[in-house]
Chains A and B, each alone.
Chain A
């Protein structure tokens, strides 16, 4: 299978039905994208497929052929991703950190579609991403902070 991951064309020896998550992690060896639930319930595996936030644990690689997969590893080169990461550091969001790749990918996608999200917009966009450390309040603050910096 030929996949485009973070702008790089990558040939991976995987079956069509393998979720993107496992192709990225266990075959391509990029471990920034996390496994949390395997059924699109927690958002830890969130990546962008042609710019859209998707749950890579339930999306087969066949759905990504001819499209662009973007992962947390590429966010430092993304203007919005950069702003989100900077806000995350400024607000000191992380605790255990395991869910944060997914949180950042969801937040970046939100801000690309809606540069000035309200709290309700944040609730709607981010409630699919679970954080068991409960960093939600700081995530909310950091998203507003990133939005302000990007404006």
Chain B
């Protein structure tokens, strides 16, 4: 972590300049790897100005440009911490801005500008520290020049260069620094020199988010900006047959009604008029002969498929002959529903098209694909599309759409209307509008030996592919397997640790749009694997913790998390009457999370009293941020486990708003105790890995309490 970073002229695009009264340090570091196929489109674009990770003002302000989007996960604070440590910044002077969509801000591992995969902190750990270190070196040189002394005798502290009793603040050095060559090598600090990294640090976006001044996409307003709502087909994949908009046009405040590829847009002075205008539309959709999804029929279809061989995702040994040695064989079917992300801020996107190009204001997790999609619709070059990323009122994956759905639609609306327009979704539009976590079924058969150890493990998954049909298909689907469908199963330590195993996948075709939902494939595979393991422990009459420890004995990071959670929860010690424990551990996004849930079941109602979480994410840059993400993951996953479900009847989504798409509320929030494993291992993510173990920990506790095995989510009224 303290290695000398050498940046050759070729790899280091020098660009220091005074821009708008400040010092801009811009550089790019070659991308380690690019696995998403759209990278090249962004690469060809010129650097915008100002382009930087860091800007120092003559007023001593330090503005950190965020290459990733703040959606609650706390990168607005974490990335500045990385810079502040290397820069010896005055923390009270640090400001943050979302960066524009530009090649300089491309993800160091993924090759496009994206916030996802719980990857921001580890993927920026070097780049942001280097930005801070290079700037500090430059400021030292500037001070040396101003004082006419060697750099060696100078030091930096709290936003200033110090020479004995003399001091120059960074702001006072900006002008001199802007005339100097940026250094080409820097030495990063040793961990023991860190003042911010590894210390619980309060969020930098707190003040504006509690006084109502923080700007979300929904809050973008300017004089010429109108509001649109789009009427979309009630059945996915079907088209508009006819529209009578005569009544809609009479609604006071309605300005225009235009057709767009996704339906009919009503453009109005404000949301209320747009909504009333949309309600006044008379629409006919071409539904005849079109496939109409139905949840009961889907379940039957999935069950039938799960009995058939699919595409092979993993294989070792010989299942058939190994199974002959079995003492017992456990078979189980698990089903998980479609889920909506339901971020608090309904989707929205403001678009202004001009002769020069297009400006887009929205909360997005995937600037590169949104920019490319808008450019294509308008016949522009990507760099003519400016994306102004606003705070995201929750993302959870919904705002990272390879198909750029809500941005593309908003661009179409503005284009058809010939006006600057903010397209706004209602909550009903959000719940009914798709891009769900796909429904999944797993069928598993595990043969156990005398001691209860798995001899053979066979598992078949059925569900839609998230990646198929997107620009990422070419690089993310290999040999017919979408890795995001089988993650957590094909690479499970339990499966791989079983000499004879086989994992098959059926990728179902459907018009129901699907997308990554916080923890992606792990959102179903974590539940299935950790419930199954509990079934196997029970079948072999072993304590679920002991059983896991044996199977994970060669997986120290799983074990460390498991043991810490069990220890802090007091596994095996008495609980209040009627309260039972369940445990689960799951690796995802490079982090290892174990959870112990304390649960009681009364009259069919599940009450989760406490969840003890242990995480090994490697270095925890902001430990309080890690804790917040674990608390958040418990709440997000518990709502889904207890009551969330998107279902279909006659081709239409049944649910519409928070009264029937139920999520966790205050009264059902358990106490969450988070413990971070002291770890020097490789850094992983924290936004998602807390989600997968929650549902199985709760369901395993329900089994301990009632003897009923939960094999279908949500739990709903299954215990009634």
Residue positions of A touching B, CB distance < 8 A: 14-15, 18-19, 22, 25-27, 29-39, 41-42, 44, 71-73, 75-76, 85, 88-89, 92-101, 104, 122-124, 126-140
Q: Which of B70, B221, B345 has the most CB of A within 10 A?
A: B345
Given A41-B658, A126-B666, A129-B666, is A72 in contact with B211 using a C-beta cutoff of 8 Å? yes
Whether A92 and B203, one on each chain, are in contact in the complex, defined by CB atoms closer than 8 angstroms, is yes
> Of A31, A92, A126, A130, which is within 8 A of B344 by CB?
A130
12 A-B pairs with C-beta separation under 8 A:
A29-B221, A35-B218, A36-B344, A38-B427, A42-B658, A73-B211, A95-B632, A97-B72, A98-B344, A100-B210, A133-B632, A140-B669
Which residue on A lies nearest to B625, using beta carbons? A92
Q: Which residues of B contact A137 (CB under 8 A)?
A: 631, 669, 671-672
Q: Which of A22, A36, A72, A139 has the most CB of B within 10 A?
A: A36
Cα A134 to Cα B638 in complex, Å, equals: 10
Whether A34 and B214, one on each chain, are in contact in the complex, defined by CB atoms closer than 8 angstroms, is no
User: What mask results when residues 195 to 218 of chain B are scored 1 for a CB within 8 Å of chain A, else 0?
Assistant: 000000011011111111111101
Tell me how far the C-beta of A72 lies from the nearest C-beta in chain B, rounded to whole angstroms. 4
Q: Which residues of A contact B214 (CB under 8 A)?
A: 97
Residue positions of B touching A, CB distance < 8 A: 70-74, 202-203, 205-216, 218-219, 221, 227, 252, 269-272, 342-346, 391-396, 426-428, 624, 628, 631-636, 657-659, 663-667, 669, 671-672
Cα A137 to Cα B342 in complex, Å, equals: 20
Given A31-B218, A95-B628, A96-B391, is A88 in contact with B665 using a C-beta cutoff of 8 Å? no
Which residue on A lies nearest to B673, using beta carbons? A137
Q: Which residues of A contact B664 (CB under 8 A)?
A: 134, 136
Q: Which residues of B contact A25 (CB under 8 A)?
A: 271
Whether A97 and B205, one on each chain, are in contact in the complex, defined by CB atoms closer than 8 angstroms, is yes
Whether A31 and B215, one on each chain, are in contact in the complex, defined by CB atoms closer than 8 angstroms, is yes
Given A95-B628, A137-B672, is A130 in contact with B663 using a C-beta cutoff of 8 Å? yes
Whether A38 and B394, one on each chain, are in contact in the complex, defined by CB atoms closer than 8 angstroms, is no
Given A37-B657, A97-B205, A134-B636, is A22 in contact with B213 using a C-beta cutoff of 8 Å? no
Q: Which residues of A contact B658 (CB under 8 A)?
A: 37, 39, 41-42, 130
Whether B631 and A15, one on each chain, are in contact in the complex, defined by CB atoms closer than 8 angstroms, is no
Q: Which of A30, A37, A128 has the most CB of B within 10 A?
A: A37
Cα A71 to Cα B212 in complex, Å, equals: 9
Given A96-B393, A133-B72, is A42 in contact with B213 using a C-beta cutoff of 8 Å? no
> Of A92, A96, A136, which is within 8 A of B72 by CB?
A96
Cα A58 to Cα B521 in complex, Å, equals: 38
Q: Which residues of B contact A72 (CB under 8 A)?
A: 211-212
Tell me how far the C-beta of A82 lies from the nearest C-beta in chain B, rounded to whole angstroms. 10
Tell me how far the C-beta of A29 lies from the nearest C-beta in chain B, rounded to whole angstroms. 6
Whether B206 and A26, one on each chain, are in contact in the complex, defined by CB atoms closer than 8 angstroms, is no
Interface pairs A-B: 10 shortest CB-CB:
A32-B212, A134-B635, A97-B209, A98-B393, A96-B72, A95-B72, A26-B270, A136-B669, A72-B212, A31-B219
Whether A132 and B342, one on each chain, are in contact in the complex, defined by CB atoms closer than 8 angstroms, is yes
Q: A97-B208, A135-B628 are in contact. List 9 more A-B contacts (CB 8 A).
A: A31-B219, A38-B426, A88-B206, A94-B203, A96-B392, A101-B210, A130-B344, A133-B344, A133-B632
Tell me how far the C-beta of B513 lies from the nearest C-beta in chain A, rounded to whole angstroms. 20
Tell me how far the C-beta of A53 lies from the nearest C-beta in chain B, rounded to whole angstroms. 14
Which residue on B lies nearest to A85, using beta carbons? B210
Q: Which residues of A contact B428 (CB under 8 A)?
A: 38
Whether A123 and B666, one on each chain, are in contact in the complex, defined by CB atoms closer than 8 angstroms, is yes
Q: Which of A26, A128, A134 has the most CB of B within 10 A?
A: A134
Whether A89 and B666, one on each chain, are in contact in the complex, defined by CB atoms closer than 8 angstroms, is no
Whether B212 and A140, one on each chain, are in contact in the complex, defined by CB atoms closer than 8 angstroms, is no
Given A26-B270, A95-B73, A127-B665, is A134 in contact with B209 using a C-beta cutoff of 8 Å? no
Cα A127 to Cα B463 in complex, Å, equals: 34
Q: Which of A19, A22, A29 has the most CB of B within 10 A?
A: A22
Tell me how far the C-beta of B480 lies from the nearest C-beta in chain A, rounded to whole angstroms. 35
Tell me how far the C-beta of A6 lies from the nearest C-beta in chain B, rounded to whole angstroms. 11
Q: Which residues of A contact B665 (CB under 8 A)?
A: 127-128, 130, 136
Whether A135 and B427, one on each chain, are in contact in the complex, defined by CB atoms closer than 8 angstroms, is no
Which residue on B lies nearest to A19, using beta carbons? B272
Whether B212 and A33, one on each chain, are in contact in the complex, defined by CB atoms closer than 8 angstroms, is yes
Tell me how far the C-beta of A136 lies from the nearest C-beta in chain B, rounded to whole angstroms. 4
Whether A26 and B272, one on each chain, are in contact in the complex, defined by CB atoms closer than 8 angstroms, is yes
Which residue on B lies nearest to A36, using beta carbons? B344
Q: Which residues of B contact A22 (CB under 8 A)?
A: 270-272
Which residue on A lies nearest to B658, using beta carbons? A41
> Of A39, A73, A92, which is within 8 A of B427 by CB?
A39
Cα A39 to Cα B660 in complex, Å, equals: 12
Q: Which residues of B contact A131 (CB under 8 A)?
A: 344, 635
Whether A132 and B394, one on each chain, are in contact in the complex, defined by CB atoms closer than 8 angstroms, is yes
Cα A12 to Cα B421 in complex, Å, equals: 22
Cα A55 to Cα B271 in complex, Å, equals: 17
Q: Which residues of A contact B342 (CB under 8 A)?
A: 132
Tell me how far the C-beta of A93 lies from the nearest C-beta in chain B, rounded to whole angstroms. 8
Which residue on B lies nearest to A37, using beta carbons? B427
Q: Which residues of B contact A76 (CB under 8 A)?
A: 211
Cα A93 to Cα B631 in complex, Å, equals: 11
Q: Which residues of B contact A130 (CB under 8 A)?
A: 344, 658, 663, 665
Which residue on A lies nearest to B77, using beta carbons? A92
Whether B206 and A89, one on each chain, are in contact in the complex, defined by CB atoms closer than 8 angstroms, is yes
Q: Which residues of A contact B221 (CB under 8 A)?
A: 26, 29, 31
Q: Which residues of B contact A30 (CB under 8 A)?
A: 212
Whether B628 and A92, one on each chain, are in contact in the complex, defined by CB atoms closer than 8 angstroms, is yes
Q: Which residues of A contact B346 (CB under 8 A)?
A: 35-36
Whether B209 and A34, one on each chain, are in contact in the complex, defined by CB atoms closer than 8 angstroms, is no
Cα A129 to Cα B666 in complex, Å, equals: 8
Which residue on B lies nearest to A126, using beta carbons? B666
Given A97-B393, A132-B396, is A34 in contact with B345 using a C-beta cutoff of 8 Å? yes
Tell me how far the C-beta of A37 lies from the nearest C-beta in chain B, rounded to whole angstroms. 4
Which residue on A lies nearest to B393, using beta carbons? A98
Whether B210 and A96, one on each chain, are in contact in the complex, defined by CB atoms closer than 8 angstroms, is no
Which residue on A lies nearest to B71, using beta carbons? A96
Whether B203 and A41, one on each chain, are in contact in the complex, defined by CB atoms closer than 8 angstroms, is no
Q: Which residues of B contact A100 (CB under 8 A)?
A: 209-210
Tell me how far the C-beta of A15 lies from the nearest C-beta in chain B, rounded to whole angstroms. 7
Whether A89 and B202, one on each chain, are in contact in the complex, defined by CB atoms closer than 8 angstroms, is yes
Whether B659 and A39, one on each chain, are in contact in the complex, defined by CB atoms closer than 8 angstroms, is yes
Tell me how far the C-beta of B673 lies from the nearest C-beta in chain A, rounded to whole angstroms. 10
Q: Which residues of A contact B633 (CB under 8 A)?
A: 134
Tell me how far the C-beta of B494 lies from the nearest C-beta in chain A, rounded to whole angstroms. 29
Cα A44 to Cα B628 in complex, Å, equals: 21
Q: Which residues of A contact B202 (CB under 8 A)?
A: 89, 92
